[in-house]
């Protein structure tokens, strides 16, 4: 058994593809915040593909961790020379493994914020990219404004403070580049947020303006923030995955990544200092990402929400179990066809009917073993961005909302903290206490959950939504998830 590192690459079995390029000759042109499973199965994978083709050797990645929990990633990346195994799990059960070498450095900001700032301020770095999750953009979920009251933001706004946040680190790096006469890098968001580049622009500019109005004006004028749509199902790595990879490929990897075979990246071609030739790795470079991102957020991401709470309540624990159940699969298709699709724009080059049915096939891949617990986490960041826009558009246009309202009701029932068999649910959400307290009252006060205007805005005032929601919640309490879905069949 070989411990994964630069020194052991040549000793790995032929069944595991390894970098064909000289990693010692790479230079970091990208600093990336949020080196989780998705980034390593997606952006880093695309760059590794280019490097294997003899391209983009000056676009390697320096990863950055900001949160305390990122300390473990720092330990693993240091031990393994930033190498890791990416294993694609195909629907028929076969596995394709490759070692990814495009990340060459990992910095843990709490230990040395100065090193992170200086890395971004160096002229070699031309892109700063982000997968910091929906909650990492620090905006109010109803107003969309930057939350200047966040304690870490308050700290970072103090004169001379060592930055704790991504905003503080990036703003200081941009300030130094401006001071040194260097052009700004591009800030490239790869998170599941509608208009992710636009959101990033608003949030980073807001922070910079609070720190220094002149800096804020310079950022607004000079820093590109391209929008993008990213897609690849990447479940949390388990000990079972580590064991299987060790047995099949003979490699000891502290943090491998597993994923489905499908991949997609649609990106606005808007960069200040150039970019890797992403199109040569299959990335779609377009003028307008919005049709693609709306398709993905309202069909794939919202459907994940449509399956996870109902499925968990009914006793399922994996996405493939839900998607392989004809009752649940039909519910998802009905939601996509009758409620989500009418809110979408035409998507160039995409057959939506094929796309929707491909989603069910992807969800059904039992070898990916994507957990419902992962899909149920951080719902207060996800539902308002992925599902509630569908609700609001259909309410405005007279469209159907029964299934969308039922998904919200399934979230409310899930937040009560037990499934239909009485088994405790571990609710993971930044608003956990507030949500569970409201859910605990809803058998006596059925509207307590959606009365939270910080999450739901004015939906509590819409009679049509309230009626559909109330009916679904009552059915969940009285008849359970499966009978509720049967009642929603077209």
What is the fold of 290-487?
Answer: 1.10.1040
Alpha carbon of 270 to those of 127, 226, 277, 278: distances in Å? 11, 6, 13, 13
Alpha carbon of 265 to those of 154, 260, 376: distances in Å? 35, 14, 24
pTM of the model: 0.89
pLDDT of residue 144: 86
Q: Is the dihedral of CA 229, 232, 235, 240 positive or negative?
A: negative
Q: Taking all residues of the chain, what is their mean pLDDT, rounded to a whole number?
A: 96
Cβ within 8 Å of residue 50, ≥6 positions away: 56, 59, 276, 277, 278, 280, 281
End-to-end, the C-alpha distance of the chain in Å comes to 55
Report CA Rg, the chain.
Answer: 23
CA distance 51 to 48: 5
> Taking a C-beta distance cutoff of 8 angstroms, is the pair 186, 128 a contact?
yes
Q: Is the pLDDT of residue 141 over 90?
A: no
Q: Is the dihedral of CA 422, 423, 428, 434 positive or negative?
A: positive
Tokens (6 digits) for 30 = 């990208």
| Residues comprising the chain, all counted | 490
Please work out, in degrees rounded to the nearest 5, the angle formed at the alpha carbon of residue 252 by the alpha carbons of 251 and 257.
90
**Which tens digits make up the pLDDT trace of 305-358?**
999 999 999 999 999 999 999 999 999 999 999 999 999 999 998 999 999 999
CB-based burial label for 93 (10 Å; 0-12, 13-18, 19+)? exposed
The candidate with the shortest Cα–Cα distance to 405, out of 466, 323, 344, 489, is: 466
Q: What percentage of the chain reaches a pLDDT higher than 90?
A: 96
pLDDT of residue 71: 97
**Which tens digits make up the pLDDT trace of 56-104?**
999 999 999 999 999 999 999 999 999 999 999 999 999 999 999 999 9
**Which tens digits make up the pLDDT trace of 254-312?**
999 999 999 999 999 999 999 999 999 999 999 999 999 999 999 999 999 999 999 99
pLDDT of residue 24: 97
Three-class DSSP category at 427: coil
Q: Indicate the domain borders of the chain.
A: 2-286, 290-487
pLDDT of residue 490: 64
Question: Is 3.40.50.720 the CATH classification of the domain at 2-286?
Answer: yes
**Which tens digits make up the pLDDT trace of 202-256?**
999 999 999 999 999 999 999 999 999 999 999 999 999 999 999 999 999 999 9
- Quickly state the pLDDT bin for 464 (edges 50, 70, 90): very high
Q: Which residue has the tokens 């032929």?
A: 14
The candidate with the shortest Cα–Cα distance to 82, out of 102, 56, 109, 57, is: 102
């Amino acid at each position: 058994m070989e411990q994964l590192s630069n020194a052991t690459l040549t000793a790995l079995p032929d069944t595991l593809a390894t970098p064909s390029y000289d990693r010692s000759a790479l230079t970091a042109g990208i600093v990336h915040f949020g080196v989780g499973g998705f980034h390593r199965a997606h952006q880093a994978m695309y760059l590794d593909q280019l490097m294997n083709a003899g391209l983009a050797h000056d676009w390697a990645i320096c990863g950055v961790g900001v949160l305390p929990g990122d300390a473990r990633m720092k330990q693993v990346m240091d031990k393994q020379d930033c190498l890791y195994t990416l294993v694609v799990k195909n629907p028929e059960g076969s596995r394709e493994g490759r070692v990814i070498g495009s990340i060459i450095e990992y910095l843990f900001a709490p230990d040395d914020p100065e090193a992170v700032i200086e890395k971004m301020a160096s002229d070699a770095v031309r892109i700063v990219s982000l997968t910091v999750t929906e909650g990492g953009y620090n905006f109010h979920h109803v107003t969309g404004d930057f939350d200047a009251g966040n304690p870490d933001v308050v700290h970072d706004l103090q004169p001379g403070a060592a930055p704790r946040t991504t905003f503080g680190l990036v703003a200081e790096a941009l300030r130094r580049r401006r001071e040194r006469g260097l052009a700004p890098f591009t800030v490239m968001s790869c998170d599941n947020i509608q208009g992710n580049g636009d959101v990033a622009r608003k949030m980073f500019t807001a922070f910079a303006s609070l720190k220094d109005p002149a800096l804020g004006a310079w950022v607004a004028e000079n820093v590109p923030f391209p929008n993008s749509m990213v897609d690849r199902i990447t479940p949390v790595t388990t000990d079972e995955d580590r064991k299987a990879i060790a047995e099949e490929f003979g490699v000891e990897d502290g943090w491998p990544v597993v994923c489905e075979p499908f991949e997609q990246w649609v990106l606005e071609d808007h960069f200040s200092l150039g970019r890797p030739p992403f199109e040569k790795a299959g990335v779609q470079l377009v003028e307008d990402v919005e049709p693609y991102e709306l398709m993905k957020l309202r069909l794939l991401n919202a459907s994940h929400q449509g399956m996870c709470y109902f499925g968990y309540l009914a006793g399922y624990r994996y996405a493939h179990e839900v998607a392989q159940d004809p009752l649940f699969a039909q519910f998802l298709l009905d939601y996509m066809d009758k409620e989500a699709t009418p809110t979408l724009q035409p998507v160039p080059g995409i057959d939506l009917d094929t796309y929707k049915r491909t989603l069910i096939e992807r969800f059904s891949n039992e070898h990916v073993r994507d957990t419902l617990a992962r899909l149920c986490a951080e719902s207060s960041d996800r539902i308002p961005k992925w599902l509630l826009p569908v609700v609001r558009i259909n309410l405005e246009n007279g469209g159907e909302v029964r299934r969308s309202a039922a998904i919200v009701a399934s979230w409310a029932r899930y937040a009560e903290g037990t499934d239909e068999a009485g088994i405790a649910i571990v609710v993971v959400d930044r608003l956990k206490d507030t949500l569970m307290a409201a859910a605990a009252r809803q058998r006596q006060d059925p509207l307590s959950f959606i009365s939270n205007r910080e999450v739901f805005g004015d939906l509590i005032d819409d009679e049509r939504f309230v009626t559909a929601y109330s009916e679904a919640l009552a059915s969940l309490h009285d008849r359970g998830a499966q009978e509720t879905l049967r009642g929603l069949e077209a």
